[in-house]
Chains A and B, each alone.
Chain A
């Protein structure tokens, strides 16, 4: 029924529409950059009760975020003046799991809601968001991994180069290892483009990884 020529044309048509589709992928590049410092909070029994985060936003996004906010002194914002913005941030981040993903001996360790001690500070035209994430259950494990990333890669997280992680009250034998996010390169792009799983969790390929091993 289908003549040979039609097959040829069909193939050309397919090539045409496929070439259209190829230019319509669904990921973004970062618009926000965060320099992060994390504190792992230990209880006397050696379990981790939560994580305290300090996130410094890049200057461009900080300027955007404070746009239109009222302040007593021009160009300066107090913690109280930034409180409504901090509340919005915390509320919206809850859906994203606070961009912090923890596994304890291989199983996921979920967070409860952030504690009310969160707040924003404004210094050198940059915002810093500080907040504490308590685990639903204190986590006691030999091997704890904390990953920090935005799955959609709208935000690029990067742990500070100097002293980015503090183990607060941890047993002395615990060993800390840190992996910074890899850089997006042509080679990585090539690798990811052959990996269908990268589609749904793109940002995970640019995760910061904190590993704590306690005997």
Chain B
């Protein structure tokens, strides 16, 4: 019992530290991290802010030029692409939510790239659909479009919270089951050789145990031996793309303010299609950045997972704890966005 209590206290503390580390800077700091928490490429974010503002301003000149000179359209697409890369590297919750989602769900980097591109394409599409329907077809005003975006963003932030809650339910439960040893927990999930768990062997130990061939087999099936929490496959549920759809929508639903302004400006210049092309290319740039960040996150998680694996029992606990923390982070990102505590880009008159 005292072991249980200590384990619980330790894990709770670790979870709080992880969630805190994940969120505090995101909520309080426009420039990433400060203080001793972690080294950060200093000034990088500031530089990104400067560069993206510069590229954004170039867009209006190039759209005007494209009217008279067709080759300016190619330059416009090039600049849109670079702007997309820089813009996504700057402020924004998309990267954070996608990355946390990948960590919580233990997805592969390939899937991370697909999710990043899908959400960026969706984001371009929403901007084009809003301007296409509202401005081109209905002749709506900027205020009406701003109001539309506000409704959409509320839905998408709520969706982020829901995704986080669902992950927390699945991962957090599994984490707690691991954490609190079974004497108090009568799960339906009990295996025939429960006694094994109490020895808290490592996987390596099991491999030496040639006498129990079927145990060996069992160990492989349950990845890390003796932990009787839901298996990774159970935790994941439906097909990964179906599962990821909610994340794609939650991140991609809210259009970029810049894209909407660019589209309306292009429309005013009689070059709506050039604006559409520019928006898609911007999305491509965004996708590259988000995919790069997501890949790093998956890599870091994989690395942590491999190290944790060498420490049976505790290792799985850490992995589930990390996933639980990531789920927490998603909830808090969504809640912070919903309440306006963490500002996304504005989209009204002011």
Q: Which residues of A contact B (CB under 8 A)?
A: 1-3, 5-6, 8-10, 12-31, 33, 58-61, 63-69, 85, 88-89, 92-93, 96, 152, 154-156, 183-196, 198-200, 202
Contact = CB atoms under 8 A, between A and B. Distances in A.
A192 B277 CA distance: 35
Given A20-B293, A31-B346, 5 more contacts: A17-B329, A18-B25, A21-B96, A28-B345, A85-B143
12 contacts: A10-B14, A12-B300, A17-B329, A18-B21, A19-B300, A23-B89, A27-B30, A29-B53, A64-B264, A184-B53, A190-B46, A193-B44
B264 A184 contact: no
A17 B333 contact: no
B33 A21 contact: yes
Give the residue among A25, A88, A184 with the most B Cβ atoms within 10 A. Answer: A25
A68 B139 contact: yes
A186 B46 contact: yes
Interface string B221-262: 000000000000000000000000000000000000110111
Interface string B8-20: 0010001001100
Ordered nearest first, which 8 A-B pairs have the shortest CB separation?
A189-B46, A190-B43, A27-B30, A16-B300, A24-B96, A193-B31, A184-B50, A68-B141
B34 interface: yes
A25 B5 CA distance: 36
Contacts of A10: 14, 318
B315 A9 contact: yes
A33 B261 CA distance: 13
B142 A67 contact: yes
B345 A31 contact: yes
A53 B56 CA distance: 26
Contacts of A190: 42-43, 46
B261 to A, nearest CB: 5
A93 B21 CA distance: 35
A183 B53 CA distance: 11
B26 A24 contact: yes
Given A156-B53, A202-B30, A193 B46 contact: yes
Given A68-B135, A186-B46, A189-B46, A17 B307 contact: no
B322 A13 contact: yes
A190 B46 CA distance: 7
Contact of A59 (B30, B265, B304, B311): B265
Contacts of B135: 67-68
A31 B26 contact: no
Given A17-B326, A31-B345, A196-B28, A67 B264 contact: yes
Contacts of A15: 38, 300
A63 B265 contact: yes
Nearest to A88: B349
Give the residue among A21, A188, A194 with the most B Cβ atoms within 10 A. Answer: A21
Contacts of B262: 60
Give the residue among A1, A2, A155, A186 with the most B Cβ atoms within 10 A. Answer: A186
Contacts of A183: 50
A13 B300 CA distance: 8
B257 A31 contact: yes
Nearest to B28: A199
